[in-house]
Structure formats: structure tokens, C-alpha cells
């Protein structure tokens, strides 16, 4: 059947099982939007307030569903507005398809109106990208884009489609979605080495990351941990992989990790790293981190093995598949002394730092909201102290429920991603923990949340400062608070009301309780402005490039 | 571990933009590029690149792994120096007074270079060889004055059965 490029795009989206896309129209995607208009029953398009919000929404959508998120933008400024969102997805290995329009091929290279070289711009932050200059290659390029984004280590892929290609027609041959590529076999020698390492270990430690979440391997991970009798620490990206109340779970490792987790990873004799990339935020000083134990690194991306921390053995493959094999082949181990040490670490006062009970503290807010949330409710964050507090105090019980910007640390990620996640899970109850700085960046998307009647509760942990930066200024810059005290007059509750959402403002725990009772009755956007002290700290903290020896607890 | 010269050969899709992808990868991962050459192969859809770089074992390992992840890269091979022929072409325009001409021509002969242009004030010479030979020649003629010079960068091929074939992204983890 003869179809235009724009129509082919819709066909391929449908073929790939895409039912929702996020985006923003403009001159160079008019034809695509015309097709979206005609095909609204097949592919739903959510219009945001800004293309950045749309990319973050597609990213959040991908995180909760495990499918590729799709974002569409026009050429020039539309395309450049995607950049932060694409980089965010790249650093967190999120499958994302970005479709951009561009000027017609004979206008390319002439600084035409709204022309930018978006494939050039996004080359370093995409897994791969394409500009399609031949209509007959469009369908297969789009299919390949989906395959690249979702296979192996997932990541963003951008396809730039010049206007004349959207208009041109060609014969379109539909195909049914290709079966997932068969998983490649795991290297037998490496498996044997891994089994030897695990068998020789007296104090094994499992370090779980986002790869466990993205390969849906949570259950296998627990089975594996039981089999080898090891505690589990997580990177921030891996937090939702292990239920908080799992006795083996020690919580987050690293700069703002739990004492027990960071201590145990330093004291173990074998780190079994599973789908994790040893970010500097988790390891601190690499030399002291790598000291005193061997590392068995399991990851689907060979380039991660020994990239940041030298691995004794690398096991390359899908995390779930590797764990399955290991569980089958390994005997049951018990490590009584190690286990006893871990139990002690978990009970250690340093592991259970509590904030003051009298004030309205971040901890009390997060814990209280946690009680109202369904177990599989979605928790999104922006970036800063509030993000770390959420990672520390929220009790995650379901994989894919923690939506946060790990690798890029993108302030402004919250609103877009919370919406995308909420939509991806058919309007599941969603809470966004944010703060005044981050929320100011992309609060425009409140309008989108209202229009789409999302059951989203926005909790502004309002410290009236760029708290995370302020904390560093307090600790390392002798309290010279350069540009972190904002003196803004925004009335967040009133702002929410004026966007058509419902706004609340609370100063005490009592007020919070009353408001929460009401807020959770809403199935549309609610904002709760929680006034907290500007000097609340994220603790524990290991200063950058430090080690467990340098941990600041109080 | 000490830095050593590394010669990487690649088979890549003969697309526009591939050169940018590869050179961009090197610069953002902080791998240096001593030289990079690229040209079509017997299969017009495939180009072959030869990259000369320096680095330790870590860099070598990462170069192979990061290149292998590129969608447009078909094959990555660190060339085994003992089994590889490496060649570079240089063209040098040497300032030559009449009195020095014979001397220069002697050097040209000794290095088995070819004269490609001959004028009153200069002699242009082409020379093909290994990097060390080219370096030696340049050093020698520099005393006469080099007006301008261009080097192509090295290209390399394995001996006899040592060939690059498509889809040989051999990668292993650990050490
Ligand atoms: C886009 C962007 N700009 C700057 C930063 C640097 N940064 C990291 S945390 C932070 C402060 C965040 O302030 P806020 O959102 O109010 O959160 P809080 O720390 O107060 O909880 C800043 C400026 C960043 N991560 N992202
Ligand atoms: Mg703040």
C-alpha cells in the first residue's frame, strides 16, 4: 500500500505496539500531526507544555512499562528542547525513541529557518541516531530504531525526518513486530570462574543496580541472594528492585547510602555487582573502594566490565538469564559469621538515623505519605535533597515504582516523568517529591497534569533553598551561601489552584495529616506545599571521593 | 601499565556521519587519536578505518568495547604488530638551494622516496613506509627546510590469513 512518510511513521508505531506518544507540534512535523489527528484512535498523543516535559514523560512512561517511550518534536528549538531529556535517558539506560522533524532535504545545510543538526547534537547522548533522506528507508529505519533502543542495554535513539520525507510516498509493507532477538549464550568459562569465586567467598555482597529493574530480575535476585546467603545493597537506580522489608536488603550504597550497606560493601570479600555501573556517587574514592575484595561483575554491556572498578570476572548477559543459570548451578551456601555481622550492622544506631520528631521534617512527610500510598503506587522525584530523602525513607516494595534521575541528576525531571509514569500505568496513584528549586524549573507541566486529570500528588519539600547545594556550601564552603537562598515569593498552593489543580500548604505534622486525608481523595492533581527547615541535611554523607572512613553521620 | 602504541582496524558502514561518530567517541571518552584513515573496501557498503592511538591496557580494553557498541561498527580488531604491515604516505616539499640538490636527491634515493615535483627553489618528494621510516626521513630533510608537508596517517593490513571479517565483535569481560 502506498503511504506518505508521516503515515508510515504511524503504521510503524502501531506495529511496534506504541499506543501513547508525547510531544509538541510545529512547522516541520505538521504532516505527522495531521496523521496523528486521523489516527487518534490508534495512537494517543499527549501534548505537554514544553518538549523537555514531553521527553521526561516518555522516559517516565518507559521506566514504568519497560516499553520504549516515544516523543515527537518539531525541528530547531523543538528538537533542541529534547536534549536534556535524551541525555537523561541515555545516562539511565532508558529505552526512548525521539522523532524530530527537520527542514526538507534540499534546505538542509543552509541554516534554513528552524534548522539544526540534531543528529550531530545528540550523537554523544544517544545509543544511535538517524536522519532519513530516502523515503524507502523510513520504515526499516524506524523499526531498527526500536530494536536498538530496547535491545541489549537500553537507551535513547533519535530519528530525524525531513519534511519532504514525511510528504513523499512509497509502498509500505507491514510486518508483525519482530520477535525479540534470542538472548545470546553466557560464556561458559566466565560462568565457571564466577561459580568458583562465589564458592570461595566467605563474605559475599550483592550490589544491585538499575539493570535488575530493567531486566525484571527482582525475584531471581532474591533467590540468588538466598542461595549464596548474601546481603543486598542497591544503587539508587536499583532501589525498587528489592522490597524494603526484605531482611537481606541493606538499602542504598554510596554517598548518601545507608551506613550498613556502605559498611558491608567495604567489608565484604566479594562484590557481586548485578546490572550496576559503579557510578562515582556510589563508590566514592575508587582506589579505596576497590581495595580488599574481588569483584564479579554481571552486566549486559561488556563495556561496563572494568570500566570504573576492575572486575576479577565479568559475566556478560541479561541479568535475569545469568542469575537463573547461577541459581541452578550453585549449591546452597551459609555464611553464619558474616550474616551475624550484617544483622549487627543493620541494628547499629548509625544505620537508623532519625530526624527530629517534633518538627515537620522531610522524613516525617515521606513516611506519612508512604502510609497512604498503595504498594505499587508510583514515586517520582526531582533532584536534590528531597530526592535523597525519598531514596532513604520511602519503603519501595514494587519494581519500576521509583522514577528518579540517576545518572544525569536532572532538576526538572520530576513533573514530566511523574506524568509519563502515571499515564503508563493507566493513571495509577502517583506522588512526586520535589522542592522549590526543581519545581520552579518545569512547573509549567502542572497544566498538562490537570488537562489529563492525573491522580498526581505533588509534594513540595519546600526549604526555600537549593538545599543540596546549600548543604555542600555549609560543609565545604564555610556557609557562603552563594545563590542558593532564593527569596522567591511563589505561593505554591495558590499557583496550583490557578493551574486548575488543588493546592494545600502545611507547616506542622498535624496539618499534614489533615491535608493528606483530603488530598488522597482527589483523583486529579494536588499540590502540597510543605514548609521545612532550610538546614535539614541529607545524612549520612560520604564527602565526594571519600570512603566509609569519612562518613558524616551527624 | 605503560602506554603503548595501539593500531585499531575497523570495518564500518559506509554511511555519512560514521567518521564523526567514531572520532567523537574517541574525543568524549578521552582516547587520543594519533592518526585516523578511512576508505572504501572491496564492498562499497563497508569502509575500513585504521586508527593509531596510545594507551595502557585499560584504554585498549575500553576502546574495543566502546567501539563494538556502535551500531555502525561491524568489526573491531586491535592489530597484532608482529603480524601486520603498516604503511603511511608522506609528501614533503623541501626547500632546496642549487648547491644542496644533489645531497637531497641522495637522501631521496637512500630512503627509496620518489621525486614528484622539481623546481628551482624546492623539491617535492613522496615516501611510503612505516611510521618510523617516515619520521627518520622527515628528520633528515628538515635541516634543508621543509616548506610544507602532509602525512596521510597510517593504514594497516594483517599478513596472509590474518583478515578482518564482518561481525567479529569479540568481547570478553574481566581480566
Ligand atoms: C538542571 C540542573 N541544574 C543544576 C543542578 C545542580 N543542583 C543539584 S541539586 C540542586 C538543588 C536542588 O534544589 P531543590 O530542587 O530546591 O531541592 P532540595 O535540594 O532543596 O531538596 C542543584 C542546583 C542540577 N542537578 N540540575
Ligand atoms: Mg529546595
Which of A163, A220, A294, A320 is catalytic? The answer is A163
Nearest to A330 by CA among A433, A208, A230, A402: A230
Classify burial at A61, counting beta carbons within 10 Å of its beta carbon; exposed 0-12, middle 13-18, buried 19 or more.
buried
pLDDT of A182 reads 67
Active site residue A127: no
pLDDT of B2 reads 83
pLDDT of A180 reads 63
Q: What is the DSSP letter of A539?
A: -
Check if B23 contacts A (Cβ < 8 Å): no
Nearest to A410 by CA among A436, A432, A381, A390: A381
pLDDT of A361 reads 97
Question: Which residue of A392, A468, A474, A530 sits with most ligand 1 atoms within 8 Å of its CB, as the best mutation to test the pocket?
Answer: A468
Strand partners, B12: B47, B73
pLDDT at B175 over 50: no
Which of A38, A113, A183, A344 is catalytic? The answer is A113
Considering only CB atoms, which chain B residues are within 8 Å of A313? 173-174
**Distance in angstroms (rounded) separating the CA atoms of residues B44 and A136:** 20
pLDDT of A291 reads 87
Active site residue A224: no
The values of phi and psi at residue A13, to 5°, are: -55, -50
Cβ pair B174:A193 closer than 8 A: yes
The residue whose CA has the least distance to atom 2 of ligand 1 is A411
Cβ pair A124:B61 closer than 8 A: no
Considering only CB atoms, which chain A residues are within 8 Å of B62? 303, 307
Please say whether the dihedral angle defined by the alpha carbons of residues A163, A165, A169 and A173, taken in this order, is positive or negative: negative
Residue A411 Cα to ligand 1 middle (Å) = 6
Q: What residue ranges of chain B are covered by domains with CATH 3.30.70.260?
A: 4-83+160-171
**Dihedral through CA A279, CA A285, CA A289, CA A292, nearest 10?**
160
Q: How far is A534 from chain B (nearest CA, A)?
A: 38
Looking at the domain B4-83+160-171, which fold is it? Answer: Alpha-Beta Plaits (3.30.70)
Considering only CB atoms, which chain A residues are within 8 Å of B72? 128
Beta strand extents in A195-307 (DSSP E only): 204-208, 232-234, 249-252, 270-274, 294-299
- ipTM reported for the complex, 2 dp: 0.91
Q: What is the DSSP letter of A366?
A: H
More confident residue, A258 or B174: A258
Whole-angstrom CA distances from B30 to A128, A321, B27, B63, B173 are 20, 33, 5, 10, 21
Query: Degrees (nearest 5) of the Cα angle B36, B42, B44?
Result: 80
> What would the 3-class secondary structure string for B16-39 be?
CCHHHHHHHHHHHCCCCCCEEEEE
Which of A51, A115, A341, A445 is catalytic? The answer is A51
Q: What residue ranges of chain B are covered by domains with CATH 3.30.70.1150?
A: 85-151
CA A471 to ligand 1: nearest atom? 19
The three-state secondary structure class of A128 is: strand
Residue A529 Cα to ligand 2 middle (Å) = 11
Cβ pair B71:A193 closer than 8 A: no
Residue A482 Cα to ligand 1 middle (Å) = 14
> Residue B39 CB: number of other CB atoms within 10 A?
10
- E strand or H helix at B61, and its extent? helix B57-69
Considering only CB atoms, which chain B residues are within 8 Å of A128? 70-72
Instruction: Cell 529505519: give the residue.
Output: A141
**Distance in angstroms (rounded) separating the CA atoms of residues A411 and A434:** 9
pTM: 0.96
Question: Ligand 1 pocket: which residues have CB below 6 Å?
Answer: A 382-386, 409-412, 435-438, 461, 463, 465-469
Residue B80 pLDDT class (50, 70, 90 cuts): very high
pLDDT of A178 reads 65
pLDDT of B170 reads 47
- Matching CATH number, B85-151, of 3.40.50.2000, 3.40.50.1240, 3.40.50.1170, 3.30.70.1150: 3.30.70.1150
Q: Is B130 left (phi over 0), alpha (psi -120 to 50) or beta?
A: beta
pLDDT at B19 over 80: yes
pLDDT of A265 reads 95
**Distance in angstroms (rounded) separating the CA atoms of residues A125 and A90:** 6
**Distance in angstroms (rounded) separating the CA atoms of residues A46 and A62:** 15
**How much of chain A is in helix, strand and coil states, percent to nearest 5?**
45, 20, 40
pLDDT of A181 reads 65
Residue A470 Cα to ligand 2 middle (Å) = 9
Residue A473 Cα to ligand 1 middle (Å) = 13
For chain A, which residues score pLDDT lower than 50?
none
| Mean predicted confidence (pLDDT) in B124-151 | 95
Q: Is A93 left (phi over 0), alpha (psi -120 to 50) or beta?
A: left
pLDDT at B173 over 50: no
The values of phi and psi at residue A266, to 5°, are: -75, -30
Classify burial at A347, counting beta carbons within 10 Å of its beta carbon; exposed 0-12, middle 13-18, buried 19 or more.
exposed
Please state the separation of Cα A312 from the chain's center in Å: 29
User: Nearest residue on chain B to A154, judged by CA atoms?
Assistant: B69
Cβ pair A190:B62 closer than 8 A: no
Check if B20 contacts A (Cβ < 8 Å): yes
Beta strand extents in A275-383 (DSSP E only): 294-299, 313-316, 378-381
The residue whose CA has the least distance to atom 4 of ligand 1 is A411
Amino acid at each position: 500500500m502506498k503511504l506518505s512518510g508521516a503515515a508510515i511513521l504511524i503504521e510503524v508505531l502501531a506495529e511496534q505496539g506504541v499506543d501513547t506518544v508525547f510531544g509538541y507540534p510545529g512547522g516541520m512535523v505538521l504532516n505527522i500531526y495531521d496523521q496523528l489527528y486521523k489516527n487518534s484512535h490508534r495512537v494517543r498523543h499527549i501534548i505537554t507544555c514544553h518538549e523537555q516535559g514531553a521527553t521526561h514523560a516518555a522516559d517516565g512512561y518507559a521506566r514504568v512499562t519497560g516499553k520504549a517511550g516515544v516523543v515527537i518534536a518539531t525541528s530547531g528549538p523543538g528538537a533542541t528542547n529534547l536534549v536534556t531529556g535524551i541525555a537523561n535517558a541515555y545516562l539511565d539506560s532508558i529505552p526512548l525513541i525521539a522523532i524530530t522533524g527537520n527542514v526538507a532535504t534540499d534546505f538542509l545545510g543552509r541554516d534554513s529557518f528552524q534548522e539544526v543538526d540534531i543528529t550531530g547534537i545528540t550523537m554523544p547522548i544517544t545509543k544511535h541516531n538517524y536522519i532519513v533522506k530516502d523515503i524507502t528507508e523510513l520504515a526499516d529505519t524506524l523499526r531498527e530504531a526500536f530494536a536498538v533502543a530496547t535491545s541489549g542495554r537500553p537507551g535513547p535513539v533519535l530519528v530525524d525526518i525531513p519534511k519532504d520525507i514525511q510528504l513523499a510516498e512509497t509502498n509500505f509493507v507491514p510486518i508483525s513486530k519482530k520477535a525479540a532477538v534470542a538472548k545470546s549464550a553466557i560464556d561458559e568459562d566466565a560462568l565457571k570462574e564466577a561459580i568458583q569465586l562465589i564458592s570461595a567467598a566467605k563474605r559475599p555482597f550483592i550490589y544491585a543496580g538499575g539493570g535488575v529493574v530493567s531486566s525484571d530480575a527482582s525475584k531471581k535476585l532474591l533467590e540468588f541472594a538466598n542461595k549464596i546467603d548474601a546481603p543486598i545493597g542497591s544503587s539508587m537506580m536499583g532501589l525498587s528492585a528489592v522490597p524494603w522489608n526484605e531482611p537481606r536488603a541493606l538499602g542504598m550504597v554510596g554517598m548518601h547510602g545507608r551506613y550498613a550497606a556502605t559498611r558491608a560493601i567495604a567489608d565484604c570479600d566479594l562484590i557481586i555487582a548485578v546490572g550496576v555501573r559503579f557510578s562515582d556517587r556510589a563508590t566514592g574514592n575508587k582506589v579505596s573502594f576497590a581495595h580488599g575484595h574481588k569483584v564479579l561483575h554481571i552486566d549486559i554491556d561488556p563495556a561496563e566490565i572494568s570500566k570504573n572498578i576492575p572486575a576479577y570476572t565479568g559475566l556478560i548477559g541479561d541479568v535475569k538469564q545469568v542469575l537463573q543459570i547461577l541459581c541452578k548451578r550453585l549449591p546452597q551456601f551459609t555464611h553464619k559469621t558474616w550474616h551475624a555481622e550484617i544483622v549487627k550492622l543493620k541494628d547499629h544506631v548509625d544505620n537508623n538515623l532519625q530526624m527530629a520528631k517534633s518538627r515537620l521534617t522531610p522524613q516525617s512527610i515521606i513516611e506519612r505519605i508512604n502510609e497512604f500510598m498503595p504498594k505499587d503506587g508510583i514515586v517520582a522525584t526531582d533532584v536534590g535533597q528531597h530526592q535523597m530523602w525519598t531514596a532513604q525513607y520511602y519503603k519501595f516494595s514494587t519494581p519500576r515504582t521509583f522514577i528518579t534521575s540517576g545518572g544525569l541528576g536532572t532538576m526538572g525531571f520530576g513533573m514530566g516523568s511523574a506524568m509519563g509514569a502515571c499515564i503508563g500505568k493507566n493513571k495509577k496513584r502517583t506522588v512526586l517529591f520535589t522542592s522549590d528549586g526543581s519545581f520552579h524549573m518545569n512547573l509549567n507541566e502542572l497544566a498538562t497534569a490537570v488537562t489529563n486529570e492525573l491522580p498526581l500528588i505533588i509534594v513540595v519539600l519546600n526549604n526555600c533553598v537549593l538545599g543540596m547545594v546549600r548543604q555542600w556550601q555549609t560543609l565545604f564552603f564555610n556557609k557562603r551561601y552563594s545563590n542558593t537562598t532564593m527569596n522567591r515569593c511563589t505561593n505554591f498552593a495558590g499557583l496550583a489552584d490557578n493551574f486548575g489543580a488543588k493546592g494545600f500548604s502545611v507547616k506542622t505534622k498535624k496539618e499534614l495529616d489533615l491535608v493528606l486525608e483530603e488530598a488522597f481523595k482527589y483523583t486529579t492533581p494536588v499540590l502540597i506545599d510543605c514548609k521545612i527547615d532550610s538546614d535539614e541535611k541529607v545524612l549520612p554523607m560520604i564527602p565526594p571521593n571519600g570512603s566509609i572512613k569519612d562518613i558524616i553521620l551527624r | 601499565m605503560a602506554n603503548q602504541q595501539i593500531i585499531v582496524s575497523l570495518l564500518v558502514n559506509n554511511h555519512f556521519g560514521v567518521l564523526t561518530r567514531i572520532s567523537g567517541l574517541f574525543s568524549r571518552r578521552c582516547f587520543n587519536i594519533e592518526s585516523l584513515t578511512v576508505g572504501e573496501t572491496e564492498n562499497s557498503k563497508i569502509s575500513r578505518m585504521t586508527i593509531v592511538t596510545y594507551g595502557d591496557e585499560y584504554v585498549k580494553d575500553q576502546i574495543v568495547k566502546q567501539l563494538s557498541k556502535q551500531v555502525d561498527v561491524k568489526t573491531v580488531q586491535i592489530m597484532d604488530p608482529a603480524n601486520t604491515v603498516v604503511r603511511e604516505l608522506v609528501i614533503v616539499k623541501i626547500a632546496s638551494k642549487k648547491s644542496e640538490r644533489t645531497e637531497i636527491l641522495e637522501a631521496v634515493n637512500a630512503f627509496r622516496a620518489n621525486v614528484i615535483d622539481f623546481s628551482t627553489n624546492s623539491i617535492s618528494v613522496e615516501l611510503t613506509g612505516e611510521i618510523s621510516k617516515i619520521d627518520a626521513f622527515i628528520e633528515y630533510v628538515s635541516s634543508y627546510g621543509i616548506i610544507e608537508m602532509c602525512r596521510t596517517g597510517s593504514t594497516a593490513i594483517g599478513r596472509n590469513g590474518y583478515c578482518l571479517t564482518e561481525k567479529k565483535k569479540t568481547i570478553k569481560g574481566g581480566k
